[in-house]
Structure 1
Amino acid sequence: MAADWLGSLVSINCGVTLGVYQGEVSAVDQASQTISLKQPFHNGIKCPVPEVTFSAMDIKELKILEIPGSGQGGHPDFSSVGHNGRSAKGPVVPSSAPMAVPRKGELRVQEGFNSPQQFSKSYGERHLEVTSQAKGFRRRHNSWSSSSRGPSQATPKKNGLKNGQMKTKDDECFGDGMEESLDTDFDFEGNLALFDKAAVFSQIEISERRNGARSRGTPNERTPSRYRHDENILEAEPIIYRQITVPQHGGKEYCTDSGLVVPSVPFEMHKRLISVAERYGLSLERRLEMAGVCASQMALTLLGGPNRLTPKNVHQRPTVALLCGPHVQGAQGISCGRHLANHEVHIILFLPNFVKMLESITNELTLFGKTDGKQVSSVKDLPDSPVDLVINCLDCHENAFLRDQQWYRAAVDWANQNRAPVLSIDPPVSSRELAVEAKWSLCLGLPLPLAEGAGRLYLCDIGIPRQVFQEVGINYHSPFGCKFVIPLHST
């Protein structure tokens, strides 16, 4: 029986001290409980001696890597040797019947190792498991079987494959039984549904409360002391939303996006406020420039902002029709048109010919003439097709008789028929309906009690100091924050 193992390739583990030996069995002595290996390898390195003998007391584990022959004759059921040197299973009497190795109809026999690398690859990766005579041998195979072929095993070409004589590269790499396990996809949604997030947070909350730690809270719970990323500010005192009070109320109140209350003022108080600011140095030219900048910035946003005014979109420059009258509101519109023209907006300025004009209008027209904007004095010269935006500066706060003039009625008819959205700058308070119905209206400093036809109301900062408000009896705190133009909502 001991002679049946001669020529077998085995791996012997002698523990941490002695290491692992691999080689071909050259002798087995049952009386002295020793086994000898020829051409041995120690920890993957070829030994300098031709043969090594091991005692059963030194062997921790013995693995059979290869059995000589081509499947003729039986072999005993001997897979490992214990610490005491005896086999874990008793020997089986060899049988004369051949035993098949079930490896998809193919058995490969390794006749010998040619290099230490082949021994190191074989150890721990491939060994022969002998279960019973009925089940036969089962070989665990992987990439070693393709990399350690013997001299007589040539790799056939792809054109020479016949009826499963050669396995595919995938089978050689991944082994038997792997294809069936990859057919079913992993159910991510079903696995995620098993996770109860609320229950986990509840357990964390209970654990932190027991340990006296600061509670993070559950997803459905929010305490007053917990803030979002945009409100993580320690408040020293409660917020006062009514920060602006006026001695004479205009009749309407508005609020900003942050909730601050902005009351309206009558036109007489607004006129007095502008007069006091002008006495302290806020001249008409400064107010015109501030109003023009704020109005142009709002108009650029209404035209599309960075989505419309880009270097790649120069062939689709927006067109704005600017309707102005012979008054301060008209001068504000011309200032706005100059800034829009500087931002590559196509401006068509309508201003009738008058014998006498204000000095502020003359100065603004001189600056506007240095831009690429176009000035017309007749409604017939305005475009027939709809423009992108109409800026209305036809009305005046004090002179209501302009509405009876022919040029005014013609400009109003053109604006109402053009079907373009209208932005009114500093519209007046009128008991009658506005001639041009606007979609947006821009007020200066403080809002006036405008009619419903003024559309959505916006407020711009023209640079009036706080002490100027206080001099006219207005308790004022700026509602603008980081902006110069803010929207106002009716309360």
Structure 2
Amino acid sequence: MTTAWLGSVVSINCGLTLGVYQGSVSSVDHSSQTISLKQPFHNGVRCSLPEVTFSTSDIKELKILNFQSTVNQPGCGPDAAAEPSLIPAGRQSHRAPPCSSSAPISILRRGQSNGRGATQAAQKKSAVRNGGAGGPRTRLDECFGGGTDENMDFDFDFEGNLALFDKAAVFSQIAGSSRAQPPGSQGDQQTYRHDQNILEVKPIVYRQIQVPQHGGTEYCSDSGLVVPSVTLDLHKRLLAAAERWGLSVERRLESIGVSASQMALTLLGGPNRLTPKNVHQRPTVVVLCGPHMQGAQGISCARHLANHQVELILFLPNCLKMQECVSSEVQLYNQTSSQQVARVKDLPQSPVDLVINCLDCHENPLLREHSWYQSAADWANQNRALVLSIDPAVGTQHQTVDTKWTLFLGLPLAQAATESQVYLCDIGIPKLVFQEVGIRYHSPFGCKFVIPLHTV
């Protein structure tokens, strides 16, 4: 009798397409072979429909979760054994003790009020997905074949959910908690922006070099450090003190040659010019030197440039008396197989890439009156190459060679007004040697050995 099943809680499995339904049996119709559930759940989610009807063709499996009989006592009576004739052969019902069914993982399409109509729609979808009616289901369809648009009929209310979050109240609560911190706590400390340093730093001192005899001109580096100029007498005393402590003339010449050659290589183009693929366009440099200490510095620079595959032409006049440092540097330069000339007419007539001027001498200003000096200076001015002067002489009102760049050693010398760009070279004098001659010194070079200086 059909009334024996009314009120029983059952679970109906309709396959992968329709899913699993749970609910209380409201009616069983033998004539139409249908069963109806009231207040149904579909895959663990309550249906929006108050009642769902299933046909026997839709039911794959039926489980009794809680049997409630209105005729017999609760349990498995004879009526309960006769009633499952509603289920077709091959779909025998299974009784189960009262329990709670766990919802399946995947959420499928909600069942329609008419179970037969839902079955027809599912059969059409299955036929299209399998390539026709009766086509085999692939593993991909078995895994992902369920409908993925279960809740697409219901739009998610973004504005309503956003309104649940009261930002003003939360921010006021945070501000109130920060103000409520006791005195002396972390909240009383100074706050910093994202671009501020939280570490305590000392104030920057830009005047870190002080000299007893000011040369009259002050410069500053790119980082803002003030570099004062010194007189020629103070500069000589500084070099003499460094030599007494072991910084010999040979070591100083080597340091000057390396730093000056690095600056010259940068002026020639650096890695953009000196590459193995650019062998046919090697830069040409002419170094003009005199028979004195400044000339030895230029020869040392020429030797290092020749070692870097630069075409070198060294000009050095023939003199009866030549300093020992110049002779030793010439002997070492000759091992580079680079060119050396003693007459101005042997210098190239076409423009070269760079001219390095080391003609001047601090000790003998009358050297400019010699014919070879005037001829070399005229050649440098007529050649359209730019000129780099290393440790030029000071105290003259006019430069004999138009200079683009001037390189000083250790500290800049006081010089007359000039339009050349001033650079400073580190020659390795220790800090205590500066202190010995009365200079309070802090290195302005940073990570470099040659830095540009700007007139304050």
Query: Which TM-score bucket, shorter chain as reference?
Result: 0.5 to 0.7
Is 1:275 the equivalent of 2:240? yes
- Letter in structure 2 aligned against 1:240: V
Q: Does 1:14 align with 2:37?
A: no
What is the aligned-residue RMSD (CA, Å)?
4.3
Is 1:248 matched with 2:213?
Answer: yes
Quote how far apart the aligned CAs of 1:244 are: 1.6
Aligned: 1:28 with 2:33: yes
Q: Give, as a single letter, the amino acid of the residue that structure 1 aligns with 2:112.
A: S
Deviation at 1:412, TM superposition (A): 1.1
For residue 15 of structure 1, give the secondary structure of its aligned residue in structure 2: strand
CA drift of 1:28 comes to: 3.4
TM-score (norm 1): 0.61
1:151-166 equivalent positions in 2, closer than 5 A: none
Contact 1:320 / 1:389 at 8 angstroms: preserved in 2?
A: yes
The match for 1:360 is 325
Q: CA deviation at 1:126?
A: 9.3
| 1:488 Cα offset (Å) | 1.3
Residue of structure 2 equivalent to 1:112:
134
Contact 1:39 1:50 in 2 (8 A): no
User: Deviation of residue 399 (structure 1)?
Assistant: 1.2
Q: Partner letter of residue 489 of structure 1?
A: H
Deviation at 1:345, TM superposition (A): 1.2
- Show structure 2 runs of 5+ residues with no match: 1-14, 24-30, 38-52, 63-87, 95-102, 118-127, 151-166, 180-186
Counterpart residue number, 1:348? 313
Deviates more, 1:452-461 or 1:427-436: 452-461
Whether the aligned pair in 1 keeps the contact of 2:18 and 2:111 (CA below 8 Å) is: no
Residues 353-375 of structure 1 show CA distances to partners (whole Å, capped at 9, x for unaligned) of: 11221111110000000003210
C-alpha distance in 2, partners of 1:206/1:423? Answer: 68
Structure having greater relative contact order (Cα 8 Å, sep ≥ 6): 2
Compared with structure 1, are the counterparts of its residues 13 and 415 closer, same or farther at alpha carbon in structure 2 (3 Å cutoff)?
same
Give per-residue Cα distances to partners, 1:160-210, cap 9 Å, x unaligned. Answer: xxxxxxxxxxxxxxxxxxxxxxxxxxxxxxxxxxxxxxxx9xx98996786
Aligned to 2:99: none
Q: In the TM superposition, what is the alpha-carbon distance from 1:262 to its structure 2 partner?
A: 1.3
The whole-number CA distance in structure 1 between the counterparts of 2:215 and 2:424 is 15
CA distance in 2, matches of 1:115, 1:39: 19
Q: Does 1:80 align with 2:80?
A: no
Whole-Å Cα distance in 1 between the matches of residues 318 and 36 of structure 2? 131
Change (3 A) 1:206 1:436: farther
Identity %: 53
In 1, distance between residues paired with 2:176 and 2:283?
62
When the two structures are superposed, what TM-score results if normalisation uses the length of structure 2?
A: 0.66
Q: Is the 8 A contact 1:243 1:477 kept in 2?
A: yes
1:453 shift after superposition: 2.9
CA distance in structure 2 between the aligned counterparts of 1:111 and 1:280, rounded to whole angstroms: 103
Residue matched to 2:57: 37
Q: Is the 8 A contact 1:321 1:349 kept in 2?
A: yes
SS, match of residue 260 in structure 2: helix
CA distance in 2, matches of 1:111, 1:422: 92
Equivalents in 2 of 1:485, 1:206: separation in Å?
58
Distance 2:401 2:199 in 1: 45
5+ residue gaps in structure 1? 1-8, 18-25, 43-47, 55-59, 66-77, 82-86, 92-105, 128-199
CA contact (8 A) 1:392 1:422 kept: yes
Q: Does 1:124 align with 2:147?
A: yes
5 Å-filtered alignment, 1:421-440, equals 421-440=386-405
Letter of the structure 2 residue corresponding to residue 429 of structure 1 = V
Q: Is 1:205–1:215's contact at 8 Å kept on the other side of the alignment? A: no
Mapped contact 2:355–2:388 kept (Cα < 8 A): yes
| Deviation (angstroms), 1:278 | 2.0
| SS of structure 2 residue aligned to 1:362 | helix
Alignment of 1:402-417 (within 5 A): 402-417=367-382
Separation in structure 2 between the aligned mates of residue 276 and residue 11 of structure 1, nearest angstrom = 98
Shift of 1:29: 4.2
Aligned to 1:148: none
Residues of 1 paired with 2:284 and 2:172: CA distance? 60
SS at match of 1:370: helix
State how far apart, in whole Å, the 2-side matches of 1:447 and 1:206 are.
Answer: 63
Is the 8 Å Cα contact of residues 37 and 51 (structure 1) preserved in structure 2?
no
Question: Within the alignment, does 1:464 sit opposite 2:425 as a pair?
Answer: no
What are the residue-to-residue correspondences of 1:252-263 with 2, within 5 Å? Answer: 252-263=217-228
Q: What count of residue pairs does the alignment treat as equivalent? A: 351
Does 1:287 pair with 2:292? no
Could you say which residue in structure 1 is the equivalent of 2:183? Answer: none
Report the Cα offset of residue 119 of structure 1.
Answer: 6.8
Paired letter, 1:37: S
1:230-249, Cα deviation, whole Å (9 max, x unpaired): xx8642x3222222211111
- When residues 109 and 351 of structure 1 are mapped into structure 2, their CA distance, relative to the original with a 3 A threshold, is closer
Mapped partners of 2:178, 2:271: distance in 1: 54
CA shift, 1:289, in A, is 1.2
Secondary structure of the equivalent of 1:468?
helix
2:81 corresponds to:
none
